[in-house]
Amino acid sequence: MNIDKGPDVTAQAHGVGEPWWKGAAIYQIYPRSFMDFNGDGIGDLPGITARLNHVARLGMDAIWISPFFTSPQLDFGYDVSDYCDVDPIFGTLDDFDKLVARAHELGLRVLIDQIYSHTSDQHPWFRESRASRDNPKADWYVWADPKPDGSPPSNWQSVFGGPAWRWDARRQQYYLHNFLSSQPQLNGHNPAVQDALLDVTRFWLDRGVDGFRLDALNFFMHDPQLRDNPPATTPGKRSRPYDFQRRIHNQSHPDIPLFLERIRSVTDEYGAVFTVAEVGGRESIGEMKAFTSGDRRLNSAYGFDFLYAGELTPDLVCAAAGKWPGEPGEGWPSWAFENHDAPRALSRWCGAEHREELARLKIALLTALRGNIILYQGEELGLTQVDIPFEQLRDPEAIANWPLTLSRDGARTPMPWCRDTADAGFGAVDPWLPVGDENKARAVDAQEADPASLLAFTRAMLAQRRMQPVLLYGAAKCHAEGALLRIDRIWEGKTITCMFNTSAAPLTLPPPHQVNGTVLASVNGGGREVLPPFGALMVAA
């Protein structure tokens, strides 16, 4: 590997008048698996604070922390029972305040998850709502009478399998749950619900949070008429009843953007706050555009273009990038190749014999994309999917759909800090999930001393991106030709051409792609005329 690192500068130092988050590199932390400070086998907030130096040294602009709120942990924090407190397994509010303070000292912004579409059934709001049909919170969740034959009000299916309706004997009604039955759906149409959630937003902003990732946002509102979903007509893998429907009535209501304008009005009160929506589904691009259009809604959105892709191809990249051409009024995209819900990309995209090369190409490609980039913890180490046997699974989705499972547990395994300890330096001898021997060998301490490691390469590529305004803010032109992917980033008369060989065979570049200029990065031996297997080249003209 040969790379020109250049000075370590931040995006703000370019003096171009763009907000801090535009082009930002964001590091996702899954708190259960990042660092266990108290030795109970589960990662926690003090553990995150203790390891923030690692994130800062990578050259990240911000961290995104997955849920740490009070919760029965049936969906590992995405079932919230108190939006404004920390679950004891993760620490306290004081621990969170210390985390924010330390992050800011290191120049890192702090983003946290917000789960507005549903709560836990242990949340006081739901306990009151289910008590009767005429209490003050009776309409805070989605309740409906059964059909005359006693069956659920509609054919809607839950993401985790089975009907999306659960009978409640107290109210003699069904309640909606798009995920686990213990995650009742909030009634996003209710202004009182919106007001309460905006109070939650203010609570965390007052504690110094710099932004939010809004989980499952397109589930926030449902069709009040409870119309049945039509069957899915597009091909694809179908391992759950949920996959057999076009989910046009239990989600994606056209009034959701109006609530987002209310969120934006709150975040604008606090200055440079960044908001990014998670939007999944086959028809997600229209929603992402609607959620981020203009300057009154969210700043950014990211979908699942890469998260479940079975292979990395130039056509895939160009199709994803082409959805965000940079037209006036268009939102700003964010990209992730991995996260806590998707199998590790290296395990999806190639065999073991090419993972070292592909790991470098993948990092280089991520830094070349127009938009914000999200790095999932351990991605900088080249972590792969851990094979979790059924008896050790903790993920309710994986258990319910075994063996046709997304295997989220395999991507949630503990971060390996030390190669030669039983727990990989995670903090407990028996972590909540096994580390995996293959990943232990890729531990941080094993790579720190190796200038040719993926960790060192990731730092160098992020430094390269941070010092190049073209990569942070520039337009993007994408070209796919067989295994060749070319991305031209263009900004204020300057161009950086990035070429990638996505195959395991050498690729001779046709003359039109043999560009002159200063080589900024040569990945896996990439040259001006030939790209070796999984080779790449970045050239500034």
Closest by alpha carbon to 440, among 459, 422, 458?
422
What long-range pairs does 65-69 form, CB within 8 A, spacing at least 24? 65/29, 65/31, 65/110, 65/111, 65/112, 65/113, 66/28, 66/29, 66/30, 66/31, 66/113, 66/340, 67/31, 67/112, 67/113, 67/115, 67/215, 68/31, 68/96, 68/112
Taking the C-alpha atoms of residue 90 and residue 97, their distance in angstroms, rounded to an integer, is: 13
Of the residues 44, 113, 210, 215, which is catalytic?
215
H or E element, residue 489? strand 484-491
Taking the C-alpha atoms of residue 469 and residue 12, their distance in angstroms, rounded to an integer, is: 10
Active-site residue 168, yes or no? no
Query: What are the DSSP calls for 14-40, one per residue?
Result: G-S---TTTT-EEEEE-GGGT--SSSS
Taking the C-alpha atoms of residue 229 and residue 355, their distance in angstroms, rounded to an integer, is: 41
What φ, ψ does residue 482 adopt, rounded to 5°? 65, -125
3-state secondary structure of 538: strand
Taking the C-alpha atoms of residue 196 and residue 215, their distance in angstroms, rounded to an integer, is: 17
Q: Taking a C-beta distance cutoff of 8 angstroms, is the pair 222, 185 a contact?
A: yes
**What is the strand order of the sheet 143-144 is part of?**
143-144, 173-176, 165-168
Distances (CA, A) of 35 to 13, 40, 423: 32, 11, 11
Tell me the residue type at 494. Answer: K
Q: Taking a C-beta distance cutoff of 8 angstroms, is the pair 537, 2 a contact?
A: no
For 205, what's the count of Cα atoms within 13 Å in the CB-facing half-sphere?
A: 21
Q: Taking a C-beta distance cutoff of 8 angstroms, is the pair 399, 393 a contact?
A: yes
Active-site residue 215, yes or no? yes
Of the residues 105, 269, 356, 420, which is catalytic?
269
Taking the C-alpha atoms of residue 364 and residue 13, their distance in angstroms, rounded to an integer, is: 22
Strand partners, 111: 64, 211
Q: Taking a C-beta distance cutoff of 8 angstroms, is the pair 304, 241 a contact?
A: no
For 390, what's the count of Cα atoms within 13 Å in the CB-facing half-sphere?
A: 7
Taking the C-alpha atoms of residue 517 and residue 540, their distance in angstroms, rounded to an integer, is: 5
Length of the chain: 541
Q: State CA 324 to chain mean position distance.
A: 18
The residues carrying an active-site annotation are 215, 269
